[in-house]
Amino acid sequence: MADPQKRLETMLAKLKEKEMRITPQRFAVLKILSESSEHPSVERIYEQVRGDFPTTSLATIYKTIILLKGIGEVLEIGFGDGSSRYDGNKPYPHPHLICTRCRTIIDPDLDSLHDMTAEVSEETGFRITSHRLDFFGLCSECQKNR
């Protein structure tokens, strides 16, 4: 998480540019996304927004997330099971390291990945638009605790 304030402003600017309204509920979601490094779930965002706006509906969170996905300002990280988590700080594809026990997600550095896309593209003739690279395992903490 580089600079939450700046990230928030970027997202706000993007919404304005697209002539979308910045409602209090949307603002709350954006704020949470910009400040979170934990890759929150919809449910988690929902709970936090309800802290400020107790009448907020879960549907509104979903709609806001879909909106943000649509304009490329949030990245969805789908687990193997149905559930998803969201990254509002790095909305472009990047590798994740997921602890299958405590569900922590961290973003490892991995430069070597960059060339792969070109390699695959050339090999197959695909025009590659996106990718997904996730590693699953146990974080060092969870390795200790049994």
Partner DNA sequence: TTCCAAACAAATAATGATTATCAATAAATA
Partner DNA sequence: TATTTATTGATAATCATTATTTGTTTGGAA
Q: Residue 33 contacts by C-beta under 8 Å, 6 or more apart in sequence?
A: 11, 40, 45, 68, 74, 86, 88, 89
Out of 1, 66, 116, 118, the residue judged to bind DNA by CB under 7 A: 66
Largest CA distance in the chain: 53
Binding letters toward a copy of itself, positions 87-126, x by CB under 8 A: --------x-x-xx-----x-xxx-xx-xxx-xxx-xxxx
CB 62 within 8 A of CB 84: no
Out of 4, 38, 53, 139, the residue judged to bind DNA by CB under 7 A: 53
Nearer to DNA, 60 or 89 (CB): 60
Q: Residue 85 contacts by C-beta under 8 Å, 6 or more apart in sequence?
A: 39, 40, 41, 76, 77, 79, 105
How many chain residues bind DNA (CB under 7 A)?
A: 23
124 binds, among DNA, a copy of itself, none (CB under 5 to 8 A by kind): a copy of itself
- Taking the complex as a whole, the smallest distance from the CB of residue 144 to DNA amounts, in Å, to 29
Q: Is 25 in the site for DNA (CB under 7 A)?
A: yes
Q: Crossing angle of helices 4-17/24-35, nearest 10°? A: 140
Nearer to a copy of itself, 7 or 85 (CB): 85
Q: Which residues, listed in sequence order, are joined to residue 75 by a DSSP beta bridge?
A: 87
List residues binding a copy of itself (CB under 8 A). 76, 78, 80, 82, 95, 97, 99-100, 106, 108-110, 112-113, 115-117, 119-121, 123-140, 143
